[in-house]
Amino acid sequence: MEPRIVATGLEFPEGPVALSNGDVIVTEIAAGRLSRVKPDGTVELLAVTGGGPNGAALGPDGALYVTQNGGFQWHRRPLPDGSMGLFPGEQPADYTGGAIQRVTLAGEVSTLYTECNGIPLKGPNDLVFDREGNFYFTDLGKNRPREKDRTGVYYASPDGKFIREIIFPMEGPNGIGLSPDEKTLYVAETPTGRVWAYDVQAPGQVANGRVIGTVPGAPPFGYAFCDSMCVDAEGNVIVATILNGGLTMFSPDGSTVRHFPCPDLLTTNACFAPNLTSLYVTLSSTGRLGVFDTWPTKGLKLNFAI
């Protein structure tokens, strides 16, 4: 299996959101914007957010909710095939701060949250809505030359009225997803390569954190990192995998692991198409959006998908 390339020329795409009309909205982190990819591969500007728009999800009001990471230093480096790829680095001089933003499908941008209990958000990364209409999100934090942030996981409402930290600390929490019955919250840690599961005792309340698996490393050194994730209808957790570029699928209890290679060291996110049989994937260092036209498991329809 290898993904078919849908669009090229994107500036570090992430946060794919597939719409019923065949369009796919992606964030372009390095360009500080959201773009709409048409079925024929053409790309249209949707909104300019500034900073580094990262994850995105449709909310109950039909707007997009975006985790704003505040931007990165960017570096172009050679890839294994000799071409040049785009890589994120440390906190940049023009860092805008972390935030949660709301973006309408007409391109209007507003900011909902920049802090929680007086503590600034550092680098929000990914989010998922529950049936209640609220959302869980991760804060990956930022790295600086001699220090990095300690961060966690949050739960917030889309009306800007409440936000609370529900897990702290974690090592670079990135991808986040809910099981089909919403009784389990999954969180991927980037630097450790670990996927965590937490029991959801009530909306926004979690307990009993445990590691269900670690993404398989790439030769020759066996390293791999986690990025964002999605969940299928069977409850499998599909984690975008960095260095060992591809998608790693864990069964709900972690007893079964399958890795699907992709043609990018920085495979960063995935989402199911509305048909729930195709799976879009962001190939970020090479600036491409790909799709597995037939994924081996059925997708899970996200709350509030249109």
CB 42 within 8 A of CB 22: no
Helices (H), the chain: none
- CA–CA separation, 38 and 301 (whole Å): 21
Which pTM does this prediction carry? Answer: 0.97
pLDDT of residue 1: 85
Structure-token pair, residue 67: 């985790």
Q: In b/e form, how buried is each residue of 249-260, taking b as 16+ CB within 10 angstroms?
A: bbebeeeebebb
174 is in an annotated binding site: yes
Catalytic one of 126, 227, 232, 264: 227
227 is catalytic: yes
Name residue 137's beta-bridge partners. Answer: 127, 154
Of 161, 169, 102, 183, give the one whose Cα is nearest residue 139. Answer: 169
* The pLDDT of residue 220: 83
CA–CA dist 235, 120 (Å, integer):
33
pLDDT score of 84: 96
In this prediction, residue 219 carries a pLDDT of 84
CATH number of 4-292: 2.120.10.30
The answer to whether the annotation marks 143 as part of a ligand binding site is no
Q: What is the per-residue pLDDT across 132-167, written as a single tens digit (0 to 9) for each?
A: 999 999 999 999 999 999 999 999 999 999 999 999
Q: What is the mean pLDDT of the chain?
A: 97
Sheet strands (E) in 8-104: 13-18, 24-28, 33-37, 43-48, 53-58, 64-68, 74-78, 84-88, 99-103
Instruction: Render pLDDT for 224-234 as a digit per residue (tens, 0 to 9).
Output: 999 999 999 99
CA 296 – CA 39 distance, rounded (Å): 22
Give the pLDDT confidence score for residue 270 in this predicted structure. 98
Work out the angle at residue 82's Cα, subtended by the Cα atoms of residues 218 and 29, and round it to the nearest 5 degrees: 75
* Stretches in the chain below the pLDDT threshold 70: none
